[in-house]
Chain A
Amino acid sequence: MPAIPIASAPQPSQTSPLQIRNFCIIAHIDHGKSTLADRMLGITEVVEQRNMRAQYLDRMDIERERGITIKSQAVRLPWRSGIDGQEYILNMIDTPGHVDFTYEVSRSLAACEGAVLLVDCAQGIEAQTLANLYLAMENNLTIIPVLNKIDLPAAQPEKFSEELAKLIGCEPEDCLRVSGKTGVGVTELLDQIVRQIPAPTGDPDAPTRALIFDSVYDTYRGVVTYVRVKDGHLTTRDQIQMFSTGVRHEMLEVGVISPEPVISRGLGVGEVGYVITGVKDVRQSRVGDTITTHNNPAKIALSGYKDPRPMVFSGLFPLDGADFPLLREALDKLQLNDAALVYEPESSAALGFGFRCGFLGLLHMEIVRERLERESNLVLISTAPNVVYSVTTGDGELITVTNPSEYPDSKIEKVEEPIVRATVLAPSEFIGTIMELCQERRGVLLGMDYLSEDRVEIRYTLPLAEIVFDFFDQLKSRTRGYASLDYEPIGEAVGDLVKVDILLQGEKVDAFSAIVHKEKAYAYGTMMTSKLRELIPRQQFEIPIQAAIGGRIIARESIRAIRKDVLAKCYGGDISRKRKLLEKQKEGKKRMKMVGRVEVPQEAFVAALTTDADIDKAKAKAKERE
């Protein structure tokens, strides 16, 4: 019986590093990571059968619904090796699976000595998994290749063993074959984790250094910080100190997750667990930071700490202007648990008061928006997302632009935009399609490799702005969902960029301004002007709609004046009905936004700012709620 009763297992703070194995699971969404984790909880008997529920470790509803893990987790699993019969402690550190959270992934990896590379053997490896695999290899982690879902009829273990072997540089026979669903091969996997992954090393007598690899706000406990002790020892009631800020806290509680919190006296070298200090904001306990003790502080921090840097910005406005305070409250609350979210108040002539928000990427943006709407019952309009531009003016001033409205009107020397290195994995039949899309989006081909006979990895540099603008949706639809994408920022490059403004009756509508590549300015201008012509109802005067770069008009449309707005008949029996109709229409008018003298229905803004893909998503969502 390889499981060890919790009571007789090696206890936290007293476990020798030689008995510890720290590992993570690298996998793509849907490749069965949560199911495998559930299975491990069951086999090691840390969760009793009757308490088991699906995706045990995913805490938020959104995580469960989307099948993705946003925040990592660390679970302590006692295990008696079937190979040497010894007792071990396996710390399973979960990793987020999405491109936006690369930095968090890198910190989780830095807390491990090994990684399970989990691949669905009906689908093969995906781009984000590949990116994380490279990251793990750079961190010198021991990689255990595992093919999951071998119970599926569509499984092709031979094909994908070859693929993994080629990527990692091992033999195809080295790939383990498991099924998280049926449990086949999971015991062997646990044994292999013990056998292959090295035990952590560290100096128990050196000044304490512990890596923060996750930080979560809990309504009752305040911030719960997940750490991996590298050197020394963390003990309850220690005065600890954050390296980046120098701020001191008292450690109120130390423990491990197994998988419910278990208080311990402390954590020793190589151990993974949580600390609670009473801080209320994850910004005071940042992922990647090093914890040391106040009495005997370490001289050098663990390497790799970075401030999270928002890459994508968008304006969030409440549909109902009266909800502005509610939105502020909701953002404040969310920020307690999201160190990467930044925002500041913004006012738009067209959309009223809202916030300019910065996100790690598109998924992060979507998650934040969804949480705001769901948890605070808000209906939000978000403006088209944009990246951060560095604009150098004619007189040498450098301006950081996170919002088209900040784009200077004066003479511009140059504009720099963020560039990413993008990796696309897809069946080889889509090479042409993918290259066409990347070329349209100003991509530069870096290289292409065959992963297996019919699967390729294509690498491009692309402006982030191009990815932000529906690239992923396009990629998915043009490859029938088969392509996967990963990207990482690699710096900035000068771009031939301009700001396109949209004018209604000569008035600039800030919400519709966009910074675009010069060659796409005309397309953006005609797209927006014709869209608005459809969306804005006719009014008693003609409304010119123009797209302009500075003072130069590049596209124009016009909405003809309405000439007739009257019902012909109004006799005795019509009076009540007609009055009520007019009063109702009057109410509807209140929901109009005024741009100069032009009444623009709220729906027009929403429709003009959303892509077709967004509309489809919204429809799907509405259907779900029915």
Chain B
Amino acid sequence: MSNLSFYVHIPYCLRRCGYCDFNTYTPSELSITSELTKISQTYLDLVLQEIDFARSQSTAVSVPSIFFGGGTPTLMAPTDLGRVLATISDRFELTPDAEITIEANPDSVSKESLSRLREVGFNRISFGMQSAVPHVLASLDRTHNPDNVMRAVMWAKESGFEELSVDLIYGAPGESVSDWRTSIEAALSLPITHISAYALIVEDGTKLSNQVRRGEVVIPDDDETADKYLLADELLELAGFHWYELSNWSKHGSESRHNLRYWNGENWWGAGPGAHSHLDGRRFWNVKHPDAYAQRILKTGDPKADEEYTEPSQKWNEELMLKIRLAQGLPQSFFPPEKMNSLLGYLAEGDLDQNAWSVGKVVLTRTGRLIADRIVREFAM
């Protein structure tokens, strides 16, 4: 019996942050004039249809995890989100311990909405905290007051969420190492079980990349970003959070099982505009624009834009690329014998964990993680 996880994409935000290149749209971009509640209903009705389509395409029976990401999922009415969960649960079978996550903007939740989300079935919540320092939040174009995060996390806790996560971003323009320390310490003061910390990526076409190009803002150099990574890893480990993926740390047992499924090459269905799916080596993705998505769902029921089958060498590359980022690492036997010398080189440089190596595993150390892409490039076929 095979498993299938679900990712549900909510392609809406009230406003777009300067660094964001996700597939998300503001009401003005879509010329939407109707009420949010109306959008929530209409859009999630389409998602329900895609779930039926997924049912027809997959032989899977049980669903071990569901993840609502965006965009801003908390802009949707909890009732509508609940209808999606109920439909998945109806067409498939939720495993008893299924992990059901929603990404939340600290500004778009209330004590009531969080209770409602818990009631309709969500058991894990991930807040976009980004930073605890106002000038850093401003440079990221985020509007929330840092204190809102504390309040939202407390409400979530009171609503019965036990798995609580926050996202942090480091390396924003103007962020000092001590600003970053402040943000980590603020996050650690919350009753959370999980932290994701991402180095800011300046993506082409974003407002931020234009500002950088015009010289209006300066991105801290890679060495400083590396220092921030090391600082985060050190402080989080000290606080009892262990790294399990390059940018993810958790209390024991609180790893995101949904995300681990991506990294372990399991099957999942991505519903919504631009969402990607993976079924047994086949990767496919939906049309990106919400209007195009709506049309396709209503006309044919199949919103797929394109697909690809990975060849064995590509599959190997993917596995390398994903699992080398994990604390579980890869077995030495994964690598062809002629690569052993190169691996030994990294071991000698301190980029591979000595203890893991002695039990036949290839696991990156703190410094090794910082050059993970270089290592992948070296070994990729």
Contact = CB atoms under 8 A, between A and B. Distances in A.
Contact of B370 (A565, A572, A586): A565
A564 B321 contact: no
A564 B200 CA distance: 13
Interface in B304-333: 308, 314, 317-318, 321-322, 325
Interface in B359-378: 367, 369-374, 376-378
Contacts of A567: 201, 373
Contacts of B374: 540, 562, 565-566
22 contacts: A562-B371, A563-B370, A564-B229, A566-B369, A566-B370, A566-B371, A566-B373, A566-B374, A568-B200, A570-B246, A570-B325, A572-B268, A572-B278, A573-B270, A573-B275, A575-B318, A576-B283, A579-B318, A582-B321, A582-B373, A582-B380, A585-B377
A540 B371 contact: yes
Given A540-B349, A562-B222, A572-B262, A579 B321 contact: yes
B380 A564 contact: no
A572 B373 CA distance: 17
A576 to B, nearest CB: 5
Contacts of A578: 321
Interface of B: 7, 197-201, 222-223, 225-226, 229, 246-247, 259, 262-263, 268, 270, 274-278, 283, 285, 308, 314, 317-318, 321-322, 325, 349, 351, 367, 369-374, 376-378, 380
Given A563-B222, A573-B274, A579 B370 contact: no
Nearest to A589: B377
B320 to A, nearest CB: 9
Contact of B198 (A562, A563, A568, A572): A568
Interface of A: 540-541, 560, 562-573, 575-576, 578-579, 582-583, 585-586, 589
A571 B308 CA distance: 17
B285 A582 contact: no
A589 B380 CA distance: 11
A564 B262 contact: no
A449 to B, nearest CB: 55
A583 B377 CA distance: 7
A564 B201 contact: no
Nearest first, the 4 A-B pairs at minimum CB distance are A563-B226, A568-B198, A564-B226, A573-B276
Contacts of B367: 563
Contacts of A586: 377, 380
Nearest to A578: B321
A582 B317 contact: yes
Contacts of A583: 314, 317, 380
A105 B281 CA distance: 73
Contacts of B325: 570
Chain A interface helix/strand/loop/mixed: loop
Nearest to B222: A564
B306 to A, nearest CB: 10
A574 B167 CA distance: 18
Nearest to B270: A572
Given A563-B222, A564-B229, A569-B198, 12 more contacts: A562-B222, A563-B371, A566-B374, A567-B373, A568-B200, A569-B247, A571-B262, A572-B7, A573-B275, A575-B318, A576-B276, A585-B377
Contact of B314 (A560, A569, A579): A579
Contact of A565 (B274, B314, B321, B373): B373
A572 B285 CA distance: 10
Contacts of A568: 197-201, 246-247
A568 B196 CA distance: 10
Contacts of A579: 314, 317-318, 321
A566 B380 contact: no
A589 to B, nearest CB: 6
A582 B322 CA distance: 12
Contacts of A541: 349
B286 to A, nearest CB: 10
B201 A572 contact: no
A586 B278 CA distance: 24
A583 B314 CA distance: 9
Contacts of A571: 259, 262
A569 B351 CA distance: 20
A540 to B, nearest CB: 6
Nearest to B284: A576
A569 B321 contact: no
A564 B223 CA distance: 7
B305 to A, nearest CB: 12
Contacts of B197: 568
A564 B317 contact: no
A578 B322 CA distance: 10
Nearest to B268: A572
A564 B370 contact: yes
A573 B278 CA distance: 10
A594 to B, nearest CB: 12
Given A566-B246, A582-B377, A586-B377, A576 B308 contact: yes
A113 B99 CA distance: 102
Nearest to B379: A586
B196 to A, nearest CB: 9
Given A563-B222, A566-B370, A575 B262 contact: yes
Contacts of A562: 222, 371, 374
A574 to B, nearest CB: 8
